[in-house]
Structure 1
Amino acid sequence: MKFKVSVVIPAHNEEAVIARALDALLAGTSPGEFDVVVVANGCADRTASAAARPGVRVLETSLPGKVNALLLGDAACRAFPRVYLDADVRLDAASVRALAEAAARPGVLACAPVPEWDLTGAGPLVRRVHRVHDRLIAPARALAGVGAYVLTERGHERAFPLPDVISDDGWVDGCFAPGERAVVPRARTVVRPARTVRAHLARRVRVRQGNRQLAELGRPARTLRAGALRELLARRTVSPLDAACYLAVLAADRVLTRLRGDRARWGTDTGSRHRDSTAAS
Structure 2
Amino acid sequence: MSTGQGAPKLDLIIAARNEESYIGGCLQSLLDQDAKSFTLQVFVAVNASTDKTTEVALTYKEKFQARGWALNVLDVPVAGKVNALNAADQVSSGGIRVYLDADVRLKAELLRQLHAALDTDVPLYATGTLQVAPAQSWVTRQYASLWTQLPFVKGGAVGAGLFAVNSAGRARWAEFPNIISDDTFVRLCFRPDERIEVPACYIWPMIEGLRNLIRVRRRQDAGVEEIAQNYPDMLKNEGKATLGKGELLRLLLKNPVGFCVYAVVHVAVRLRPASKEWTRGR
Query: Residue 191 of structure 1: which of 189, 204, 220 is its match?
Result: 204
Q: Structure 2 CA distance, aligned partners of 1:40 and 1:214?
A: 26
Query: Residue 18 of structure 2: which of 10, 13, 34 is its match?
Result: 13
Q: Structure 2 CA distance, aligned partners of 1:199 and 1:264?
A: 15
In the alignment, does 2:61 pair up with 1:51? Answer: no
User: 1:197-235 deviations in whole A, cap 9, x for unaligned?
Assistant: 11111110110111111111124466733122223346x
Aligned to 1:274: none
TM-score norm. by structure 1 comes to 0.85
In the alignment, does 2:48 pair up with 1:42? Answer: yes
Q: Structure 2 CA distance, aligned partners of 1:12 and 1:267?
A: 11
User: Is the alpha carbon distance of 1:65 and 1:141 closer, same or farther for their aligned partners in structure 2, counting shifts above 3 Å?
Assistant: farther
In the alignment, does 2:227 pair up with 1:225? Answer: no
In the alignment, does 2:275 pair up with 1:263? Answer: yes
CA contact under 8 A between 1:122 and 1:194: conserved in structure 2? no
In the alignment, does 2:174 pair up with 1:160? Answer: yes
Aligned to 1:246: 262
Q: Structure 2 CA distance, aligned partners of 1:91 and 1:161?
A: 26
What SS is found at the alignment partner of 1:159?
coil
Alignment coverage as a number of residue pairs:
260
User: 1:125-147 deviations in whole A, cap 9, x for unaligned?
Assistant: 321221111211313452432x1
User: 1:239-280 deviations in whole A, cap 9, x for unaligned?
Assistant: 22222222122111222xxx2x3424214431xxxxxxxxxx
Q: Structure 2 CA distance, aligned partners of 1:92 and 1:62?
A: 32
User: Is the alpha carbon distance of 1:207 and 1:71 closer, same or farther for their aligned partners in structure 2, counting shifts above 3 Å?
Assistant: same
Aligned to 2:67: none
Q: Structure 1 CA distance, aligned partners of 2:37 and 2:55?
A: 21
CA contact under 8 A between 1:10 and 1:39: conserved in structure 2? yes
Q: Which amino acid aligns with 2:275?
A: R
Aligned to 1:279: none
CA contact under 8 A between 2:12 and 2:99: conserved in structure 1? yes
Aligned to 1:88: 103
Aligned to 2:143: 129
Q: Structure 2 CA distance, aligned partners of 1:32 and 1:178?
A: 27
Q: Which has the higher contact order (CA 8 A, sep 6+)?
A: 1
Q: Which is worse superposed, 135-144 or 246-255?
A: 135-144
- Displacement of 1:4: 2.2
Aligned to 1:110: 125
Structure 1 residue runs without a partner (length 5+): 271-281
Q: Which amino acid aligns with 1:51?
A: A
Q: Which amino acid aligns with 1:42?
A: A
Query: Residue 211 of structure 1: which of 201, 224, 239 is its match?
Result: 224
Q: Structure 2 CA distance, aligned partners of 1:174 and 1:44?
A: 33
User: 1:88-125 deviations in whole A, cap 9, x for unaligned?
Assistant: 111245201101111125745111111111124122x3
Q: Which amino acid aligns with 1:90?
A: R
CA contact under 8 A between 1:90 and 1:189: conserved in structure 2? yes
Structure 2 residue runs without a partner (length 5+): 63-69
Q: Structure 2 CA distance, aligned partners of 1:14 and 1:230?
A: 40
CA contact under 8 A between 1:143 and 1:172: conserved in structure 2? no
